[in-house]
Amino acid sequence: MIEHISGKLVEKNPTHVVIDCGGVGYFLNISLNTFSKLSDNENAKLLTHYVVREDAHLLYGFIDRTERDVFRLLIAVNGVGVNTARVILSTLTPGQVQDAISTENVDSLKAVKGIGAKTAQRIIIDLKDKINKLDTDNETVMNAVSVNNTSKEEALSALEVLGFTRKQAIKPIEKFLKNEPGLTVEELIKQALKVL
């Protein structure tokens, strides 16, 4: 229904962005993969996937066609919803997801929070034939803008949106920042997802 949104990027967080398009601010849920590829330009363009539920209408934004295609394949698997697909794409790049499925690497998928052996196997069985048909020669379609919070606060907020409590997330985040103060928000969240 909505193929893409293009306009002024007015808010950028690790889990969502707001794009002003013709005076209307569109809230788009994003993965860490998309967040990490956003540039500091004022104008932005994201490919979208529109989800209609009984209680909400949601937009998901993607930096390129490959990420969106992988997302759409993942949500077609029984037991994998939009939030799980977003966590998968926040932990692994679309290329890593494709590799894990095509090489039947269950352990790679199990490393994602919320994915057990059965779900990982179901993803591989359901998508093995489909994943290799994806066109991976996509270029990034988007640019973007600035962030207001500190890395720690952004990482904590992102982890809360992904289903963790602040109490669960704060210790690993602080530990990683203490050991490596220069970690980006994306790196912090990826490290935390591995231990939570």
At 24, which CATH number?
A: 2.40.50.140
56 in the same domain as 22: yes
- Asked if residue 158 is part of any domain, the answer here is yes
Confidence at residue 150, expressed as pLDDT on a 0 to 100 scale: 62
What residue numbers bound the domain in which 175 lies? 151-195
Which of 43, 62, 81 represents a domain boundary (last residue)? 62
CATH code for the domain of 186: 1.10.8.10
| 142 part of a folded domain | no
pLDDT of residue 40: 67
Confirm whether 140 is domain-assigned. Answer: no
pLDDT digits (tens, 9 = 90+) for 25-46: 999 999 999 998 887 678 889 9
Looking at the fold, whether 109 and 158 belong to one and the same domain comes out as: no
The pLDDT of residue 89 is 94
Q: Is residue 188 part of a domain?
A: yes
Q: Which of 62, 87, 110 is at the close of a domain?
A: 62
Task: Identify whether 26 is part of a domain.
Answer: yes
* Residue-level pLDDT at 181: 73
The pLDDT value recorded for residue 106 is 92
CATH code of the domain in which 73 resides: 1.10.150.20
Specify the number of domains making up the chain: 3
186 occurs within a structural domain: yes
Shared domain check, 107 and 73: yes
What are the helix (H) ranges across the chain?
32-37, 65-75, 82-91, 94-102, 106-110, 117-131, 151-161, 166-179, 185-195
Judgement on whether residues 57 and 69 belong to the same structural domain of the protein: no
Residue numbers in the chain where pLDDT is lower than 50 = 137-149
Q: Which of 125, 127, 138, 116 is nearest to 74 (CA)?
A: 127
Please spell the DSSP secondary structure of 80-114, one letter per residue.
--HHHHHHHHHHS-HHHHHHHHHTT-HHHHHTSTT
